[in-house]
Structure 1
Amino acid sequence: MNPSAEPLVRFSGVQKTYDGEQLVVRSLDLDIQRGEFLSLLGPSGSGKTTTLMMLAGFESPTAGDILLDGKQITGTPPHKRNFGMVFQNYALFPHLTVGQNVAYPLTVRKVPKAEQAERVKKALDMVRLTGMADRLPTRLSGGQQQRVALARALVFNPQLVLMDEPLGALDKQLREHMQIELKELHRQLGVTFVYVTHDQGEALTMSDRVAVFNEGVIQQLADVETLYEAPSNRFVAGFVGDNTVLSGTLQGAGADTALQLPGGYLLPGVNVNQAALGSAVHACVRPERIVLHAHSEYPKTSAIPATVARAIYYGDHLRLMCDLGHGQEPATVKVALASSASNPHPQPGDAVLLEFPPVSTRIYAV
C-alpha cells in the first residue's frame, strides 16, 4: 500500500441526510488506498454503515463526490460498480445450491457456463468449501454460509469487497476464527476490503487502517497500533480498547504537564489536545500499562496509594478494580495483571501502590 499513490476511492465533502435536517454523515473526506483492509468502526448511528451503502451505490449522497480511480461514481448504479458485497445475514438464495449461489454474479454478467464452473470451483477452494457446490445453504453451518457469501463476493474479481458486519451472527469462537481467515484471504488476494463493524477487537485484529466514526464524523483515521496507543481524542480513547479514566485539573508547563487529582497527587502525562492549564481534564490509561506495587515496596517513581475493591479472573489475566479516592468514582481504576499460579493474587481489601507511566497517560480536555 502506497499512501502517496492515487487512492482507489475518494470521498470528497460527502454529506447524507434522510430528513433534510439531521446529517447522518457530515462533510466526509476519506481516501481508500488500493489493496488495503480498511475498517469503518463506530457505535450504532455513527454513519459508518451509511458511508458503506453510499460507496456500494445503495444510498446517494446529499452533497459531495465519490470517486473511483479518479472518476465520479455518485450516479453509477450498484450493479455497474464491480464491487463484491457481504451482508450480516449473508443474503443467500435458499432454493439455489452453494455452487449456484456463488455463480449468480457470473450469470448476471453473462459469463459462459464453462468459465463459470471453473471460477466457482476456484472461489469455493479459496474459502475452504471444496466439494460442497451441490449442497443447499440450509444444510450448512453459519460459518460455512458466511464463506459462501464471501466466495460469491469474490468470484467475479471485484475491485472492492464491501462487508457490513458479516460476522455479527456467529458465536465468539467462530467469529474470532473467521477474522483470522478473512485477514489471510485479504493478504493472499490483495483486493481492497472495506469492512463495517462496531466491534473494536474485530477492527484491530484484521485492519491495516481503521476510521473511527461518531455522529457522522471520522474522529480518527489511523493504523491499528496508533489508534490503540495514541487515541487522538477522548471519544476514541473511550471507544477503542479499555481504559482507566481519572478526573482532575491540568498543571505544569510546556511538555511537563500533569493531571492533578483533588487529593494533590500529580500524574504526569501527554497533553493530547493542548488543554489549558488549570482546566478540567481527563487522563486515560490502558489497564495493562498501570504498574502495581505492593504497598511495602515504595517504588522510586511516584505512585498513588489505592485499595483493591474487586479481583476478577479472566483466565489469561487478572483484572483488579481499585479504589483510588481523591475525588474519583469507587472501583474506577482497572489494572490488568498477567495470570500466574506461582504468585499470590492481590485480594479485595489489600493496600497497593499504582504507578501510571507518563508516556501511557494521555490527558484530554473535558
Structure 2
Amino acid sequence: MTTNPILVSFSGVQKTYDGINLVVRDLNLDIRQGEFLSLLGPSGSGKTTTLMMLAGFESPTAGEIMLDGRQITRTPPHKRNFGMVFQNYALFPHMTLAENIAYPLTVRKLPKAEREAKVLKALDMVQLGRMGSRYPGQLSGGQQQRVALARALVFDPQLVLMDEPLGALDKQLREHMQIELKALHRRLGVTFVYVTHDQTEALTMSDRVAVFSDGAIQQIDVVDSLYETPANRFVAGFVGDSTVLQAEVTRLDGAHCEVRLPSGVQLRGLNVNAAAVGDAVQCGTRPERLKIADAPGANTFQSQVLDVIYFGDHLRLRCEMPGQPDATIKMPLGHHQLPEPGQTIHVHAPVEHLRIYR
C-alpha cells in the first residue's frame, strides 16, 4: 500500500463557518491510489466536513486540495468525477433501479448501448442482476444501499466518497455490507474514502484509518497499529476497548517509565508521550492483554471481581479497584479456573502492552 502513488493531498486545510471556531484545523493528509481510507471520529470532530471539502460541497477557508497533482480547491463537485454514497441513499423514487444507476451516464451523455452495458455490469457487481426494472420503494434498505453504490461506481470514478452509508441498516445487515464493501473494493481497486463514527466498521474495512478529534487528525495508521499502538489518550479510548488505570509517574527508564497507583502498587509500561516524574497519567491496555496471575508479581495488581459476563465468543470480567474506574478483562471461553463475583484476583499487565499517557 505504501508504494502506491498519492492521489489526493490536503495541505494546511482549515475550515471555519463563523470566522472564530475552526471545524477543521491545519489538515495535512495524503490519500493513496487504491486505498480504503476511513475518517473516524465522534460527532463534530471534522471528519464529515473534510469529506465535503473533498467532494466540493464545502470550500476550505485556508489551504489547498490537490488531485493527481492538480489543484481542485475551487473545482465544483460535478467536475471532480467522484462517486458519492450517502446514508439516505438519495435514489429517485420515480425511476427504476436501472434508470437510477444510468443517471450519471445520462448526464455525461454516453451512447444508449454503452449506458445499458455499464448498468448491467454495475447491477451484477452489487448482486442485483435481475432487478433493474424494479423501483426503489420495492427494495429493502440493504438493496437500496447497493443501488446507491452501483450508481456511484458505474461511471468509473477515480474516487468514491461515502458518508456513513451503512448507518441506517440494522446490525446484521450492516456487518454483511461491510464485508461486501471490502470485497468489492479489493476487486475494483478504486480509492474509497469512508466517513464513520463506528470504530468496529473502520477497523473491519479499512487499509488505513484517520482518527479525528476537535478538527484535527489525532493518528493515521494501518488498522492493527492503530489498535495496538494508540498515539495518545483519545485514540486509546476511542478505538477499541481499553482498561484504564490512574497513576503517577515515579521513575523514567528510556522509552519506559514506572508509575504508582493510588493503592501504592508500582507498574512499568511504555511512556508514550513523554510523561515526566510527578505527572498524573493514565495507564491504558487492551482488556484481552490482561491475564489472571496465580500470585502477586511484577506488573501485577489486585482487583475484586464484580461480574462475569458471557459474550458468546469470550467472557468479560468487570473488576473493581479502590479509586479507579472499573477494569475489564477479556478471557477466552473454557478458561480452566473462572473466578466468581466477590473474589479478589491478581491481574498481570504485560509491560509491552501497558501504555502510559499523560
TM-score category, normalised to shorter length: over 0.9
The alignment covers a number of residue pairs equal to: 357
The residue number in structure 2 matching 1:318 is 315
| Offset of residue 306 of structure 1 | 1.3
Alpha-carbon separation, structure 2, partners of 1:90 and 1:267: 51
Three-state SS of the structure 2 residue aligned to 1:349 is coil
**CA offsets, 1:106-144, max 9 Å, x none?**
000000111010000000101111100000011111110
Alpha-carbon separation, structure 1, partners of 2:5 and 2:136: 40
Three-state SS of the structure 2 residue aligned to 1:9 is strand
The residue number in structure 1 matching 2:353 is 360
Contact kept, 8 Å, 2:299 with 2:350, in 1: the verdict is: no
| Offset of residue 277 of structure 1 | 1.1
- For 1:17, the aligned partner's letter is T
Three-state SS of the structure 1 residue aligned to 2:6 is coil
What does 1:59-138 correspond to in 2, within 5 Å? 59-138=58-137
**What is the TM-score normalised by the length of structure 2?**
0.97
The residue number in structure 1 matching 2:268 is 268
The residue number in structure 1 matching 2:330 is 336
Contact kept, 8 Å, 2:65 with 2:71, in 1: the verdict is: yes
Alpha-carbon separation, structure 2, partners of 1:87 and 1:344: 49
**CA offsets, 1:224-265, max 9 Å, x none?**
011000000000000000111100101222234122112221
Alpha-carbon separation, structure 1, partners of 2:302 and 2:26: 47
- For 2:311, the aligned partner's letter is Y
What does 1:155-170 correspond to in 2, within 5 Å? 155-170=154-169
1:305 to 302, 318, 336: 302
Contact kept, 8 Å, 2:27 with 2:216, in 1: the verdict is: yes
- For 1:328, the aligned partner's letter is Q
Matched, 1:348 2:341: yes
- Unaligned 5+ runs, structure 1: none
| Offset of residue 303 of structure 1 | 1.9
Three-state SS of the structure 2 residue aligned to 1:107 is helix
| Offset of residue 300 of structure 1 | 5.3
Alpha-carbon separation, structure 2, partners of 1:241 and 1:258: 25
Alpha-carbon separation, structure 1, partners of 2:303 and 2:82: 54
The residue number in structure 2 matching 1:193 is 192
Contact kept, 8 Å, 2:11 with 2:28, in 1: the verdict is: yes
The residue number in structure 2 matching 1:16 is 15
| Offset of residue 2 of structure 1 | 3.6
| Offset of residue 60 of structure 1 | 0.6
Structure 1 vs Structure 2: percent identity of aligned residues? 65
| Offset of residue 74 of structure 1 | 1.0
More off after superposition, 253-262 vs 29-38: 253-262
**CA offsets, 1:181-227, max 9 Å, x none?**
10000000000000000000000000000000001000001000110
Alpha-carbon separation, structure 1, partners of 2:252 and 2:23: 40
Contact kept, 8 Å, 2:86 with 2:165, in 1: the verdict is: yes
The residue number in structure 2 matching 1:257 is 257
**CA offsets, 1:306-353, max 9 Å, x none?**
11011211111111111122x323xx110011122x746322101211
The residue number in structure 1 matching 2:281 is 281
Alpha-carbon separation, structure 1, partners of 2:118 and 2:235: 42
Runs (4+) of structure 1 exceeding 6 A deviation are none
The residue number in structure 2 matching 1:290 is 290
- Unaligned 5+ runs, structure 2: none
Alpha-carbon separation, structure 2, partners of 1:2 and 1:268: 34
Alpha-carbon separation, structure 1, partners of 2:299 and 2:203: 33
Alpha-carbon separation, structure 2, partners of 1:91 and 1:268: 53
Alpha-carbon separation, structure 2, partners of 1:344 and 1:176: 33
